[in-house]
A and B are shown apart, each in its own frame.
Chain A
Amino acid sequence: MYRKDGESYYVVDAHIALWDGRPENQRNIHGKQFIDCFYDYHRNLSPESEVWSYEEYLYQGGERLMRDVFVDGIVDHAIFQPARLKEFYHRGFGQTEEAFALAQAHPDKLTYNHYWDPRDGENGLDELRRNAERMQLKGVKLYTADWHGESRGWKLTDPMAYRYLEACRELGIKNIHIHKGPTIRPLDRDAFDVADVDHVATDFTDLNFVVEHCGLPRLEDFCWIATQEPNVYAGLAVAIPFIHTRPRYFAQIMGELTYWLGEDRILFSSDYALWTPKWLVEKFVDFQIPEDLTEYAPLSTPLKKKVLGLNAAKLYDLPVPAELQLPDADETATGPREPAAADLASV
C-alpha cells in the first residue's frame, strides 16, 4: 500500500519479469542484441539515480526481484508476464520455473502468467492444458513478434491462435496480454499493427485483452479499437517511464487514453526489470497534466487509484480492502461499440 497526502493506493504491477540475459544463456547474437536493446531503454528513460550497471541488468534472481518490486511496501501485488524468445536464449528469456516457484512461495504477492505460441500446434495446446492446471493460470502473455524456426511472427487472427484462445476460454484463462512490437510477419504489414486485436476482442468478448505498451507507437489505432471494444485494456509498460524524461509527452498519452478508454481500463506496469516500480509509482501519484495542455482534463485521484491497482485487481480477483474500492466511471464520450456509432469508423 502506498500512502501520500492522506490517500491510500493499492498498487498492482501488472507486468514484471524474471529474465536471464546473461551471455551463457544467449544462443546467438540476437540474444545479446535483445538484452542490449532493453538496457538502452532502461538507461535512456530512467532517472540517473535508478540506472543499473549492465551486469546487474542481465539477471536479477528472485531475491533481488522481491526486494526491488516490493521494497518499502509500495507494490501490493505483481504479475509475471514472461517472454519466451527461445530462438535467442538457450533456456528462454523469461525463467519459467524460477518465476513460478517464486509465485508459489508468495501467492499473496505474485501471480504467474505463462505464454503460448500457436506455431507449437497440437503439442502446444496439450502443454497449455497441463500448464493451466499446474500453474492455475489466470492469464497469458503473448508475444506475436517472437521468432519460431523460419517464422518471425504470428497474428492473433491465425486459425491456430483461435484454437488456443478457445482453450483459454475453456480453461478459465481470461486475461490475454499482448505485446505489440517488432518484428511481425509478413513484413509488408506495419510491424506494430494492432488490427488483429480488434478481431479477437470481438470474437472473444468473455476474454480481456490487455495491449501492452498501450499500442505505442500506434496509439491512434489502439485507442480507436479500444474505444469500441469494452474488453480491451491499455498496459502502461514502456509508456510510463516518459513521466520522467518527457512529462509533457506522458501527459498527452494519459490524456488520450483517458479520453478514449476512460479510467477503468488502464493498467500500471513497470515492466520490471526494464524499470523498477518504486519511482514510477511515486511520480505517477504526484503527476498532473500541465495546465497549458487545455485539450485534456486533469487526472483525478480516483483515476490514479484505479490505474495504479484497482483496475488490475479486478481482472485478477485480487483482494482489495473494501475502503479502497471505487465504483466504475460512466462511459466515455466515445462510448463502447454500438451499431449506431458504426459510421464513425469511416471518420
Chain B
Amino acid sequence: MTAVLPDLTVTEAEVRAALGTVVDPELDEPITDVGFVRSVSVQGGAVEVHLRLPTSFCAPNFAWLMVSDAHDAVSAVPGVGSVVVELDDHHDSDLINRGMAAGLGYRGTFGHEAEDSLDELRATFQRKAHTAAMERAITALVRTDPAVDVAALTLGDLPAGEHTTDALLRRRATLGLPVDDGAPVLVRDDGTRPDPAQAEMVLRRARSVRISVDGNAHFCRGLLTTRYPGSEADQTPRPEDRLLLPLTVSKGTHP
C-alpha cells in the first residue's frame, strides 16, 4: 500500500479564483470582473496568464501592481510550479514582462523613474476605496430617508446584508477600522469621526471621491470592450451599476 498523495493537479478554475483576489486599485474591483484577464493556460504545474488593459497608456505603476499581484496570487495556488504573467499591448509591456520574468521588482524594473516602493500608492487607493464605499452606503440610505442624521449614523443603522453595507465592511477591515455595530459610519481618512458641523462637508468630499472611482470604472470598462471586441463577455456588471445606473455602452460602428 502506498500513501495517498494529495491531489496537486492545478485547474484553470483555481487559477482564475486566485486572480479574482487581485484588485485594480483605481477601480477597486477584481481584475477578473473588469475583463483584464485575457487568457489562462495550465500545463501540469506550469501556469501562463496574460493580462490586458483598456489602453496602451494606462499608468505603468498600476499595471505593475496588477501584474505583480497576479504573479503572487497564482504562485500561492497549491501545486503550481512555474508562473508566467505577462501584460499584453502596453507601452511598457516589454519592460514590465522582462522585469517580472527576472524578478527585478518594481524599482529594479523601472530604474531611475521609480524612487519608492508602491506601498504608499496602494495605501492611498485603499483609503479611496473605503471613502467611496462609505459614501455609497450613506447616499443609499439618504435617498430612502432624507431626514437621516448622517453624523450620528453607526454601522448598526445600515441595512444588514445589503451590497453597500457589505462592501463598506470589507473596506473597513482592509484599513483596520472597527466593524462593530456601534462604530460611526462617517469617518475621515484616519478613522476619526468629524464634528457634526463638518459632517456635510466630509460627505461631499467623499461623494467626489466616489464619482472619480465610478468615472474610472466607466472609462476603463468601456474602453476595454472597444479595444478588445468580445471582452464584454468577460466583464461582470458592477453592483453600483445594477443598483443605480443602467448600462448603455455605445460600441461604435467601425472595427
Contacts and interface: CB of A to CB of B under 8 A. Distances in A.
Contact of A187 (B60, B207, B209): B60
A188 to B, nearest CB: 4
A318 interface: no
Interface of B: 26, 54-62, 91, 110, 112-118, 120-121, 124, 139, 142-143, 146, 188, 194, 198, 201-202, 204-205, 207-209, 211-212, 214-216, 218-219, 222-223, 225-227, 244-245, 248-254
A68 B215 CA distance: 28
Interface string A178-213: 000111011111111000000000000000000000
Contacts, number: 148
Given A33-B91, A249-B214, A48 B250 contact: yes
A347 B222 contact: no
Nearest to A223: B208
B205 A217 contact: no
Given A36-B56, A183-B57, A187-B114, A294 B143 contact: yes
Interface residues of A, number: 57
B194 A347 contact: yes
Contacts of B254: 43, 51-54
Contacts of A347: 188, 194, 198, 201-202, 205
A215 B117 CA distance: 25
13 contacts: A40-B223, A43-B226, A44-B222, A183-B60, A187-B60, A188-B114, A217-B215, A220-B212, A259-B204, A294-B143, A295-B142, A334-B201, A347-B201
Contacts of B249: 44, 245
A185 B92 CA distance: 14
A281 B121 CA distance: 38
B205 A245 contact: no
A183 B58 CA distance: 8
Given A34-B56, A188-B121, A45 B250 contact: yes
B221 to A, nearest CB: 10
A186 B113 contact: yes
